[in-house]
Chains A and B, each alone.
Chain A
């Protein structure tokens, strides 16, 4: 017996390091082009900025070291707002991306060739994945960005990249 997945669509976008990732339609809240990000010092390095959405500060995740170092500094970046399942009253988180998300249709065959080993740290947030233009693209659960496991791993990578630089 075979299952047809003709109508399965995801939104694919590159994170700020240029790595492709995807979210199911229900996860997407908004795409903010050139959003104003406020640096918040003394927070987790991979989640040290906020963006204002409907007057509420939303935490923003990054995968690339931010140059900000003072609480008064502001930068402009593309941010994808995704829904989380009410983590302590929080309904959305932001993820720094490069470019706007694009809708992709996934076919049955594209699941089989997927390899999570090509997804780097995003494998901590992954629920599934597919192959697009020969590249493995993880489909992510936004709630998993807020897990200790992902935050610890991402912080470690940011520290390593900053010490190399």
Chain B
């Protein structure tokens, strides 16, 4: 398997620019024709769509998966209208393994739970903290809020270190830099690994519990 990125968990992705506002590296995820933003720490690693394998599994039939650290993780995707599906779609080129914040077993260490296919994934800079949207607005959908991001990605590809330091400039210059950045900013929907997993659990509850046996088999 070819990993596009395998992060060092000790590296902090956050960049503090001013006392009141933070510029932070996040991932812009293109999925089912839409753009989502997700925190860097919510994605454990990326694989290519071609790395997805399949295994025959009892009641489910052919189950697509990727292997990581000796464990197999089921691969899910979203089609137009954000309808959850097993496997990858024709337009999906990457597979992102999500980091689940809650432990799935008795061990204290958190571990990733599912992988999600996407068309592209790009590191970008957000210039605001995520703003949560009220429950009556998001309903049971896969997003939790919105975040203000720069139109032009500051980091051009996945190989660029996401923790790149901004130039060491004075506080006033940083304020100016942030103000300039805001002029070309837009708001994008923000999600988390937990919310995406919840969304899949809601739609494919039985399938997800069945795929636990896949991990054990791996």
Contacts and interface: CB of A to CB of B under 8 A. Distances in A.
Interface string B100-140: 00000000000000000000000000000001111111110
B146 A50 contact: yes
Contacts of A44: 136-139
Interface in A49-83: 50, 52, 56-57, 59, 70-72, 74
Nearest to B37: A71
B136 A151 contact: yes
A45 to B, nearest CB: 10
B115 to A, nearest CB: 20
A97 interface: no
Interface stretch (B4-12, B64-72, B172-180, B181-189): B181-189
Nearest to B187: A38
Contacts of B139: 43-44
Q: For B33, B134, B137, B138, which residue has the most chain A Cβ atoms within 10 angstroms? A: B137
Nearest to A145: B136
A5 B133 CA distance: 39
Interface string A80-120: 00000001111000000000000000000000000000000
Contacts of A148: 136
Interface in B11-64: 33-36
A140 interface: no
A42 interface: yes
A41 interface: yes
Contacts of B74: none
A42 B189 contact: yes
A28 interface: no
A56 B143 CA distance: 17
B34 A50 contact: no
Given A41-B34, A43-B143, A72-B35, A88 B134 contact: yes
A57 B148 CA distance: 10
B142 interface: yes
In the complex, the 3 A-B pairs of residues with the closest C-beta atoms, listed nearest first: A42-B141, A146-B136, A59-B137
Given A40-B146, A44-B139, A87-B134, 18 more contacts: A38-B146, A40-B189, A41-B82, A42-B143, A43-B137, A43-B138, A43-B141, A43-B143, A56-B131, A59-B133, A59-B134, A71-B35, A71-B188, A71-B189, A74-B186, A88-B134, A148-B136, A151-B136
Interface of A: 38, 40-44, 47-48, 50, 52, 56-57, 59, 70-72, 74, 87-90, 146-148, 151
22 contacts: A40-B137, A40-B143, A40-B146, A40-B187, A40-B189, A41-B34, A43-B139, A43-B141, A44-B137, A47-B136, A48-B137, A50-B146, A56-B131, A57-B131, A57-B187, A59-B136, A71-B34, A71-B188, A87-B134, A88-B135, A146-B134, A148-B136
